[in-house]
Structure 1
Amino acid sequence: MLKAFLFPGQGSQYSGMASEFSKYASWEYYAQKAIEVLGFDITEIMDGDEEILKITENAQPAIFLASYVAYVETTKKGLEPDYVAGHSLGEYTALAAAGVYDFETGIYLVRKRGEYISQTMKPGEGSMAAVMGVPIELLEEFVKQYDGLYIANYNSAEQNVVSGKADSIKSFVANLTEKGYRAIELKVSGPFHTPFLDEAREKMAKEVENIKFKTPKYPIIMNSIAKELTDPDKIKHYLLEQISGPVYWKQSIDRMLELGVDEFIEVGPKNVLSSMLKKAKINTKHFSSLITTEEVYEK
């Protein structure tokens, strides 16, 4: 039986995260490490105002911290993945879990990633929308009709995400709704996974330039190509590519199924990824279901 650990991306944050994850034995250690690296108390933001938490440079390290603690707690159960993958931001957590770099490097990188994304386009100029029940071929045709609009996330057969200029997103959502389709604008601060973020990718390239990536303990299925990689230089290249390029998540799941993965475990806050897999009738669990109440409170 082959297992894959899946790490969630932005949108999985929620106020109260720190309080909830503080029940895990490894929380205090990694929360303190995060505070030391970031230079501020990320746990206060994680338990604070939702609007402040959802700001990209706050949400990304918050999700990274919670997801990494989830990974540590899951491995304490003796569970090890055969493959790892992360959705967008979650790819950075997957790499840390696989030992490509350490926790401190990872949380530093996701904070910088968030900052650079925020700097690239002013809040309100870019947006994203989730689209449900539209075949991908038809969605690709719809997107071509709008200026500055791209498919950002190929999430599943049922749900995909478009991204780009805010005014185009609003028109797109209104027009699809009129046609009887379901499209919802997302509460995000920018047009993730589009060429509008090329500048952020270039800044991140300078950040990772002098960081030595190690060979991962587990092959990682990369968002940009939906294929497994173990070569550190290629991993670094495609990690940068996904900042301004699409996330091929459905294709990544399909690839893991081809490789023989028959159990997927979502490792992080909320259950966005496992919910999508359940809808597709794919065997999946959330890490929290693998840890008993007694174990959680063993300090």
Structure 2
Amino acid sequence: MIAFVFPGQGSQTLGMGKEILEKYPEYEKYLDIASESISVDLKGIIFGDDEQLLTLTENTQPSLLTISYIMYLYAIEKLNIVPDVVAGHSLGEWTALAGAGVLSFEDAVKLVRLRGKYMSEACPPGVGGMGAIIGLDIEKINEVLKEFENINVANHNSPEQIVISGDKKEVQKALEVMKEKGAKKVVELNVSGPFHSKLVAPAQEKMADELAKIEFKTPKYKVIQNYSAEVEEDPEKIKENLIKQITGTVRWVESIKKMKEIGVEKVYEVGPGKVLTGLVKRIDKTLQPQSILKVK
């Protein structure tokens, strides 16, 4: 069995997707469709020279989804590699669902643009923060977080790397405690908001209203979702998990273990960068993770 994994925010770079679009210019139409659907020149943003413009959450999310979706089409149409299982990291879950036919590409682009906008608006600048903890196990981290009311685990990325999110001052204090408890390294992240924490709950409510207008279909591949770390087939359950994911933990370690459990033997990262390839290697090397861009 083959799995495709789609990256989330942080994997974006200026010029991403260029190698595929130069070789197969027919895929440029998806950039045009995406740009038209949200009235934003994504091509200009991705292939421009203003990194800050690309890094704005409401631009990053549709840009990254579009390029990752183009790479998904390239994988199945040009490389003849078709997944049995799909999953995405945070924003990447939307790309996975578009690829699995749960919702249309256009709807996915429109919704992630709104998702980015709502997430940016949910918490005033400077109030929220995120921090990465390297080399401290999840049990010890959860023990420390019991002392902090407004922080939770945002991403369980690998056994060695866990990200916390919430009130900025509490995150800073918690990182100091984590260091005292034996973490190899702690890093306060340069992010625009406290993603995957209860501080972005207003975005969750607004996205629930938006998703109520969209009909989800049964996926054509097995979908493993961040919120449940389980294979989900019911369109309404998928929708519900997608909403809960905004404030919930990205259970990436459990999601990759679930892939192994159901028989996945090979994982391809479908999107720019190699963040997920590195994470999957740290979770289970036997899954031979590889960027789809490295396939000849």
Tell me the CA shift for residue 180 of structure 1: 5.3
Pairing 1:223-238 to 2, within 5 Å after superposition? 223-238=226-241
Match of 2:122 among 120, 123, 132: 120
- 1:72-101 residue CA offsets vs partner (Å, 9 max, x unmatched): 000021111111001110000000000111
Q: Tell me the SS of whatever aligns to 2:246.
A: helix
**Structure 1 unmatched ranges of 5 or more:** 293-299
Q: SS state of the match for residue 154, structure 1?
A: strand
Deviation of residue 57 (structure 1)?
0.7
Select 1:209's aligned residue among 209, 212, 215.
212
Cα-Cα RMSD: 1.5
1:1-299 alignment, distance < 5 Å: 2-17=1-16, 19-20=18-19, 22-25=21-24, 26-46=26-46, 47-76=48-77, 77-177=79-179, 181=183, 182-280=185-283, 281-282=285-286, 283-290=288-295, 292=296
Q: State the 1:43 CA deviation.
A: 2.0
Could you say what secondary structure the match of 1:160 adopts?
strand
Structure 1 residue 205 displacement after superposition: 0.9
CA contact (8 A) 1:24 1:73 kept: no
- Tell me which stretches of 4 or more aligned residues in structure 1 moved more than 6 Å: none
The CA distance in 2 between the partners of 1:173 and 1:48, in whole Å, is: 34
CA distance in 1, matches of 2:224, 2:270: 15
Q: How much identity, in percent, do the aligned residues show?
A: 43
- In 1, distance between residues paired with 2:261 and 2:56? 37
Quote how far apart the aligned CAs of 1:52 are.
2.3
How far apart, in 2, do the equivalents of 1:226 and 1:18 lie?
29
Cα 1:164/1:75, change in 2 over 3 Å: same
What's the CA shift for 1:150? 0.7
For the structure 1 residues 286 and 18, does the alpha-carbon distance in structure 2 shift closer, same or farther, using more than 3 Å as the test? closer
Counterpart of 1:296? none
CA–CA distance in 2 between the matches of 1:52 and 1:174?
32
Distance 1:229 1:180 in 2: 37
Partner of 1:17: helix, strand, or coil?
coil
Q: Conserved in 2, the CA contact under 8 Å of 1:224 and 1:247?
A: yes
**Distance change >3 Å, CA 143–CA 23, structure 1 → 2:** farther
> What is the aligned length?
290
Q: Which residue of 2 aligns with 1:295?
A: none
* Cα distance in structure 2, aligned partners of 1:167 and 1:113: 25
